[in-house]
Amino acid sequence: MKVLFLVYFVSFLFLPITALCDSFSGKIVSVLDGDTIVLMTPEKEKVKVRLYGIDTPKGDQHHAQKAKRFTFSLVYDKVVEVIPYDTDMEGRTVGIVLVDNMNANEEVIRSGHGWQYRNYCDASFCSEWLQLENDAKISGVGLWHNSDPVPPWKWRKENQEEMSFASSGAI
């Protein structure tokens, strides 16, 4: 009886991990920004997907609209396959997006519209993505056309501090 309980318990612990390993597909119905898309599954379920291992400019940050337009041109109205890696704090699936025999995550970096996300890209291929970013930087494509683009994680931190300062009544 104890062995059976242990088998069920261990199986339950690994259920979420195996559930995330299954890829799924759907048609892209919205692009929220350069690294976040919404797809409609064949079962008519909308799923927000954050592209794993990359970060693109946000909000009113310089190059945000260009990054969004690039991702839009790459995936919008197309059927993609998503290989899930995780679920983020906002409940979005975080994964690799494959479209037209391409890895969309890589293409965003290669084209210079985003960074390899230093804090969250820990897969074996992340060092290759860092090289793609460096190649884009050397070529001066996309956001690298500017002399010193600010990574989104720094931009968010700076703007969050400014908003906190302003809301404290200090301005």
**Residue 106 to residues 43, 71, 109, 130, 152, Cα–Cα distance (Å):** 28, 11, 5, 10, 17
* Predicted confidence (pLDDT) per residue in 11-39, tens digit: 333 333 334 459 999 999 999 999 999 99
Q: Residue 27 domain-assigned?
A: yes
Is the pLDDT confidence value at 163 over 60? no
**Which CATH number belongs to the domain containing residue 127 in this structure?**
2.40.50.90
Structure tokens at 161: 């501090």
Q: Chain centroid to CA 83: how far?
A: 12
Q: Are 78 and 154 in contact (CB under 8 A)?
A: no
- Overall domain count for the chain: 1
Domain span at residue 80 reads 22-157
* Predicted confidence (pLDDT) per residue in 37-62, tens digit: 999 999 999 999 999 999 999 999 99
Q: 159 falls in which pLDDT band (50, 70, 90)?
A: confident
